[in-house]
Structure 1
């Protein structure tokens, strides 16, 4: 069995200023004795996401946080991809919501742009674990489903109210945290991360 990359008592910087993501990752890492600190708490600047892939943006964010903090850093680059929109908003999912994070407007834009088109969609999550010495490890999760309208549910964050995973009638935002974490793109990426990094 390989040696875990992270151990009980370690501190890990979550390279995000998103409170929803911090809550999710803190809950998932708590059983392993890993303390999660957000880049926001450390007042680290948010690097501009200039890459053209989820993997590239995840690396950019994790490397910046690891270098600035001197601690291992975990980043998450994720987004909603819609078949009828040629995979958009994809890596631009957050940007579609604008600087004021107006996700209701972004969800309405997706609905309007699809029109009567195909409603197939998928969420992608790429996690990158970066160490201050430059080592990088990547883990990718994907959940397929479809766009639903109108938005449903109040849990979760982002585009969760308009996405129903394959084989389910509830949107992500209508599910409990446990139900969502059993099949979400982030949970699937985290499972790969857990097996590789936490022993």
Structure 2
């Protein structure tokens, strides 16, 4: 009996999950989250309801692959920044690169994604978990730039504070009218403002033996 090459089943699983995410995103934007059923999503993704539940526990889980893929992208862009670049500059540059590439734009725009995240409590809860995971993934990268112990409290506070600032910037951005000339020019500028408020001059407390 033929067997799939190593990794093939995983790629197929990821592809199905992205198909589900694409179908769900389009339906949530067009019809709203509450009006969209699991049956609607399965039909749009051309799968059975049984297959849907093999990959997603509930419709609140459908956008999780986009969130986790975005986390991997952000962490990768951050790791690629010059080693001597400041924490604030490297985080903002990685964030801007995610927005510039926007490789999930054909699935759902960043604005539409965060409109859903801020309006659907179940999906927002998944985002909070994903953001926590992102902060943990960023921690050793940021600690190296800031001269901190990656396992220490300061590094943990730094990474979670930065992710919190970017999340607040995105959530504020989706409340702004994009047609308002007095509003923010783009989310990148809001992110820069949010990061600058933090004043990231990391001070390592002296130890007394």
TM-score between the two structures when normalised by the length of structure 2: 0.26
Q: Going by fraction, where is strand more abundant, 1 or 2? A: 1
Higher Cα Rg, which structure = 2
TM-score between the two structures when normalised by the length of structure 1: 0.27
